Structure 1
Amino acid sequence: MERFIRKLYSLLMWAAQPFLRRKLSRRGHAEAGYLEAVDERFGFYTQPAESASELVWVHAVSLGETRTAGILINALRGQWPGLRVLLTHGTATGRAEGVGLLRAGDVQVWQPWDSEAAVARFFMHFKPRLGLLLETEVWPNTVACARARGVPMALVNARLSDKSLHQAARIAPLSRPAYAGLAAVYAQSDSDAARLRELGATVQGVFGNLKFDATPDEAQQAQGRQWRQALGQPVLMLASSREGEEDDFLKQIVALALSTRSQAAINTVAGAHVQVLIVPRHPQRFDEVQALVEKHGLSVSRRSAWAGEPQAADVWLGDSLGEMALYYAMSDVALLGGSFAPLGGQNLIEAAACGCPVIMGPHTFNFAEVSELAEAAGAARRAVDMDEAVRSARAMLARPTTQQVAAAASLTFAARHRGAAANTVQALAHFLGR
């Protein structure tokens, strides 16, 4: 049965390739990066073929995973300075971020589409000695091909939500061999480990989250704190927002402004103006979010237009990549995007490391463990919906001492959970040699 299911899956993946090409073409109109080296996704490369198994393959599908990969790669190079990396991605933002991680001798290409032929060409061309998959990226044909070629595959910083477990369980003849085929799994939490074991994975360690070992950019933090101090009023951020959340947020902001009878369009908290900042999760939505803000009758100032300092406007729009440390340092409190719609939330670790308290919505299933730990530590609060979240932020900003206590708790929480990178490197010595 398992063999039949995987053959059927392989046939579907082969048949879907023309549709993938069309999808990439459409996405390329909004993000040109998707039009780059499209043939790599199907196992055709311009890079020279490797003659020996030297490369360590690190797969980081998108922006967040690529930043996490940077933490791991730096730690690995601290132990093995001559390490050569084969870095793959699935999204344009991940690939763009990954460029900064490359050194001489490294290779960067798209993740191979999980058809038998594309994956076989990938392994034959690059001959990786080890594969490291970040967080959730387990693909049946990729794992099967690696096993057939004797390439150990490890899932690092691994997480698996209840929702993903139930989805995988419905296709157990396909998912169980893939998880069982991994040479090792290093989970973020005990709960993740238990769910991964249910799918047949060999969990060899629970190390916490690699993101705790990231050091937010000091220059960005200093700039953010300077701008916030010069502003002289609290900053409320909607961080990594997703479609639908900005509209809900802006409705609450406008309603609150009207309820306080402020003549300005901006939110008023306890008699003091509050600067609103929105940072969308996906760059292709920057223009869309600006139009939405203006539709609500509010003025917008975009980060990309700031010459030396933020420009006055009802709403600041964070339309840059790689500057979340700046935005968190500018903010007194952040509402966590992706958690007010049933999308599973975003990771709040960087906010905590920058000393920015977080208010999260009801949907944090993708980061359940860290969200619960942050709430218990006083670094985050929970709200049932956007209305309650804005009101909770209003209450915090009206009491500076409360905000300061939450900010200190955030820094303590972030510091307490570091160490996953060192533990992961120690575990990987089994594959890379001591």
Structure 2
Amino acid sequence: MIDQTRVTMSISIRLLLWLYECLWYLALPVALIRLYWKGRRLPGYRQHVAERFGFYSCQKTSNLIWLHAVSVGETRAAAPLVEALIASGKTILLTHMTPTGRATGQQIFEQHLKSGCLQQVYLPYDVSWAVNAFYRYFSPQIGLIMETEVWPTLVLSAKRHKIPTILVNARLSNRSAKRAASFGAIATYIYQSFTKILAQTGLDAKRYQSLHLNNVLVTGNLKFDVAANSSQVNEALLLRKELNAGMQIVCAASTREGEEELIVAAWQKLKQDHPDLKNICLLIVPRHPQRFDDVYALLTKSFPQVARKSLLKTNADLATAINQQGILLGDSMGEMSFYYALSDFVVMGGSLQPLGGQNFIEACALGRPIILGQHTFNFQQAGIDVIDAEAGLRVDGIEGLSQAMGLLFLNHELKEAMSTNALDFANQHTGATQKILAIVQASH
């Protein structure tokens, strides 16, 4: 009876995987159209298209460690692990799915790319012939996949090619766990095909284990180990010396669609409720570069003075724009350390709308108090911890956001106390890199 059940389950899994492959074949023409369409604003989508189908022309390197970081956030989070692996003598193949992720990797790892310690390509679409071509071409010793990027064909094909794979910095929201559980045995089969799942928190680990997995360990969150860009921090500190005495800046960081309107409304209410509050500036840094122009158009409809960082060529120009107490649009990539160091506190994007929240850990590491919305399921435990550490405030709606900004602008003692707490919070959670490195070294 048990054998019959296993045979039936095996047939069901194979059938579902076959249907999944068929759906991909139907989706490929749509994927090509999508690349062309998105390439209107981001030309990178129209570059290296052959790589997305498993065709590569870069020089092959033996004994590669392959690390997949789908986009910007995962690429930044992977930086301490990449550095540690290269320091141990490894050569890295870094893959992405988005051109912004690839561009971020080029910026962060510029010296490693030049030295040949690291190379970048796009990961192929999740069809068997493209994935198999990727594995045959590069023959990585081991695969490290960041956070949530679980593609069935990719994972199962690695197992057939005898390439150990580890899900690194893994997180699983309650909603995603329920969705995975609805797939039953096939979800367990896919996740169990990882050599290890290295979860960020105990809560993430419990959710993975609820899928009947026995390959889960807790190693912490790599994002606590990401070092700020020291040259950007120094540049920001020099700029602050050119600002009016008492100037305060709030950075609305990594904002996403629908959030800028809420921030604008909260800022207008703040100004209305505190007309005597002077020497304050709002800095908005959208998450995605393709939205820079749209956000600028939105801001110019609401405010008479809006400056774009990309058009301000010198620190003197930037200081003048801030001193005018207008609105500053941070329309540049790879400068978050600069923006955080320039600011007094941070409103975290992605949390004001039901989008899961963006990474606030780098801001905490620079001693910046955090204002979070209600939606931080991508950083659920960290979101709870930062509030418990009294390094952040949780707000709801325009009224709550306006009040929180006013509180931090007016109560300097509270702001300084929260700044110290933010530094302590960030420092207490470091160490994931070395734990993960030890497991990777023991797995291949």
Contact 1:179 1:200 in 2 (8 A): no
1:304 aligned partner:
310
* Cα offset, 1:49, TM superposition: 5.1
1:57 aligned partner:
66
The 5-angstrom pairing of residues 108-257 of structure 1 reads 108-231=120-243, 232=245, 233-257=247-271
Distance, in Å, in 2 between the alignment partners of 1:195 and 1:109 is 32
1:40 aligned partner:
51
Secondary structure class of the residue paired with 2:357: coil
The residue identity in structure 2 corresponding to 1:137 is E
Offset from partner CA, 1:213-269 (integer Å, 9 cap, x none): 111012211222333343231111211101111011112212332444x5xxxxxxx
Distance, in Å, in 2 between the alignment partners of 1:144 and 1:306 is 50
Distance, in Å, in 2 between the alignment partners of 1:279 and 1:201 is 39
Distance, in Å, in 2 between the alignment partners of 1:411 and 1:122 is 42
* Cα offset, 1:362, TM superposition: 0.3
Distance, in Å, in 1 between the alignment partners of 2:399 and 2:41 is 32
Secondary structure class of the residue paired with 1:320: coil
Distance, in Å, in 2 between the alignment partners of 1:69 and 1:277 is 27
Secondary structure class of the residue paired with 1:237: strand
1:389 aligned partner:
401
1:341 aligned partner:
353
Offset from partner CA, 1:77-103 (integer Å, 9 cap, x none): 22x22x111110011111011124234
2:83 aligned partner:
74
Say yes or no: does 1:17 pair with 2:13: no
1:30 aligned partner:
41
For residue 95 of structure 2, the aligned residue among 88, 93, 100 is 88
* Of 200-209 and 40-49, the range deviating more from structure 2: 200-209
The residue identity in structure 1 corresponding to 2:19 is L
CA-atom RMSD in angstroms: 1.6
Identical aligned residues as a percent: 38
The residue identity in structure 2 corresponding to 1:395 is L
The 5-angstrom pairing of residues 311-322 of structure 1 reads 311-312=320-321, 313=324, 314-322=326-334
* Cα offset, 1:105, TM superposition: 5.0
* Of 23-32 and 378-387, the range deviating more from structure 2: 378-387
* Cα offset, 1:76, TM superposition: 1.5
* Unmatched segments (≥5 aa) in structure 2: 1-11
* Of 144-153 and 378-387, the range deviating more from structure 2: 378-387
Change (3 A) 1:199 1:15: same
Distance, in Å, in 2 between the alignment partners of 1:17 and 1:126 is 23
Q: In the comparison of the two structures, how many residue pairs are matched?
A: 420
The residue identity in structure 1 corresponding to 2:263 is F
* Cα offset, 1:205, TM superposition: 2.5
Offset from partner CA, 1:103-127 (integer Å, 9 cap, x none): 4153311011111111111111111
Offset from partner CA, 1:3-50 (integer Å, 9 cap, x none): 111110011012211100100111111111111111111111122456
The residue identity in structure 1 corresponding to 2:164 is P
Contact 1:177 1:200 in 2 (8 A): no
Say yes or no: does 1:274 pair with 2:285: no
Offset from partner CA, 1:154-188 (integer Å, 9 cap, x none): 01111111111122222334422210100011111
Distance, in Å, in 2 between the alignment partners of 1:256 and 1:74 is 43
The residue identity in structure 1 corresponding to 2:96 is H
Contact 2:194 2:215 in 1 (8 A): no
Distance, in Å, in 2 between the alignment partners of 1:379 and 1:398 is 17
Distance, in Å, in 1 between the alignment partners of 2:273 and 2:443 is 62
The residue identity in structure 2 corresponding to 1:411 is L
Contact 1:240 1:280 in 2 (8 A): yes
